[in-house]
């Protein structure tokens, strides 16, 4: 016990007194992201997700975090650290049934906290971002999915779901994600407007999700420096919550985008059910694809992003794809 106390104390001491100094003009970014299927006039499958997070100023990172992540990221260059809190909800198609269809999406909720590092490198005009993100939380009634959905449905005057008593059981939730994004140098298309392509690849490991992912995003407009596209909520690779201010002396920057991501899925707790006990489950599809489009506006220290997404069927018997939208608001403090 004494050794464990000393270990914890050493980590706290490192966090307190050994950060790398921040760049003087750089600022942390706070971001709120909300995804919901209300714009698609549905209430099923992945029905709601939110995350609030903070991304640090450049190189304002405790050395204990850099030491822990260097084995994953390799040599550390310019780096930021991020932390956040999120929740995701899943429901079947017929939420008015007290006993859900056993072949439909199980009721489930995930409440989690995250911490991770983002490493940016620019070589020969090519930008590359690598991130590692650890999420710890709980799946089951302790994730407060029923309370969240009842509260929101009461606000909008919608029917309360009747089947939350059948949701997945409480289970500790662990997820490690590693992601790399590249930005091919942009080319001017017309009247100073540019286009660029950003491929990405990712890996998720844990009892929540286990999958390999790859995709790309095409952008057109005035994408600012340091912007890797709007953030997303997992299982989609989480993207970048950091953004730079408007560039080239402009009062604002903007761009529209379209993107695609494919995932080879080995585990999805919201379809496979609980890891250590019996629960509702369905037969998942081993390959899932997300297609999305949207727009981003950066006005000084404010970034607004809207995304509309379509996710292919995730399990056998699913009644069509999942369709949902997302709104992200970021502010550089």
Answer for the pair 146, 170: CB distance below 8 angstroms, yes or no. no
For residue 20, what pLDDT is reported? 37
Beta-bridge partners for 179? 131, 202
Q: Looking at the DSSP assignment, which residues form a beta bridge with residue 195?
A: 187, 220
Residue 25 CA to residue 128 CA, distance in Å, equals 22
pLDDT at residue 9 in the model: 36
Give the pLDDT score at 13: 34
Cα dihedral 119/35/29/228 (nearest 10): 40
Dihedral, 127, 214, 310, 329 alpha carbons, nearest 10: -30
Give φ, ψ of 233 to 5 degrees. -100, 140
Which phi and psi angles does 270 have, rounded to 5°? -75, -10
Asked if residues 173 and 207 have their Cβ atoms less than 8 Å apart, the reply is yes
Report the sign of the C-alpha dihedral through residues 27, 195, 259, 129, in that order: negative
pLDDT tens, the chain, 333 aa long: 344 333 333 433 333 333 333 333 578 999 999 999 988 888 899 999 999 999 998 888 777 777 776 666 666 667 889 999 999 999 999 999 999 999 999 999 999 999 988 888 776 667 788 888 999 999 999 999 999 999 988 888 888 899 999 999 999 999 999 999 888 877 888 888 989 888 999 999 999 999 999 999 999 998 876 677 888 999 998 877 888 766 656 678 899 999 999 999 999 999 999 998 899 999 999 999 999 999 999 888 899 999 999 999 999 999 999 999 999 999 988
So what's the pLDDT on residue 65? 74
pLDDT of residue 71: 65
Contacts of residue 52, Cβ cutoff 8 Å, sequence gap at least 6:
30, 31, 32, 33, 84, 85, 86
The pLDDT of residue 249 is 60
| The CATH number of the domain covering residues in 27-332 | 2.40.128.140
Residue bearing tokens 């995804």:
35
- For the chain, which residues make up each domain, given as ranges? 27-332
Dihedral, 269, 271, 274, 279 alpha carbons, nearest 10 = 170
Q: What is the pLDDT of residue 138?
A: 98
Q: In terms of DSSP bridges, do strands 171-183 and 193-206 run parallel, antiparallel, or are they unpaired?
A: antiparallel
């Amino acid at each position: 016990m004494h050794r464990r106390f000393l270990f914890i104390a050493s980590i706290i001491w490192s966090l307190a007194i050994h950060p790398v100094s921040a760049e003087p003009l750089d600022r942390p970014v706070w971001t709120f992201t909300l995804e919901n299927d209300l714009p698609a006039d549905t209430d099923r499958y992945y029905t709601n997700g939110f995350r609030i997070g903070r991304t640090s100023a450049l190189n304002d990172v405790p050395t204990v975090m850099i030491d822990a992540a260097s084995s994953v990221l390799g040599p550390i260059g310019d780096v930021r650290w991020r932390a956040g809190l999120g929740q995701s909800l899943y429901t079947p198609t017929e939420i008015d049934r007290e006993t859900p269809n056993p072949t439909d999406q199980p009721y489930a909720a995930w409440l989690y906290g995250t911490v991770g590092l983002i490493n940016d490198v620019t070589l020969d005009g090519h930008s590359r971002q690598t991130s590692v993100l650890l999420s710890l939380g709980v799946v089951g009634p302790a994730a407060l999915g029923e309370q969240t959905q009842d509260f929101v449905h009461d606000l909008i005057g919608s029917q309360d779901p009747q089947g939350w008593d059948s949701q997945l059981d409480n289970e500790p939730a662990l997820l490690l994600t590693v992601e790399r994004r590249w930005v091919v140098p942009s080319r001017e298309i017309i009247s100073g407007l540019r286009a660029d392509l950003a491929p990405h690849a990712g890996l998720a490991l844990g009892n929540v999700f286990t999958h390999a992912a790859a995709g790309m995003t095409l952008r057109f407009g005035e994408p600012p420096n340091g912007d890797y596209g709007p953030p997303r909520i997992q299982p989609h690779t989480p993207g970048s919550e950091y953004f730079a201010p408007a560039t080239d002396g402009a009062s604002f920057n903007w761009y529209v985008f379209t993107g695609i991501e494919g995932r080879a899925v080995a585990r999805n707790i919201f379809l496979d059910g609980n890891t250590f006990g019996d629960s509702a489950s369905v037969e998942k599809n081993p390959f899932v694809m997300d297609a999305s489009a949207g727009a981003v506006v950066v006005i000084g220290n404010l970034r607004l992003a809207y995304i509309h997404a379509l996710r292919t069927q995730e399990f056998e018997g699913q009644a069509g794809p999942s369709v949902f939208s997302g709104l992200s608001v970021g502010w550089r403090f």
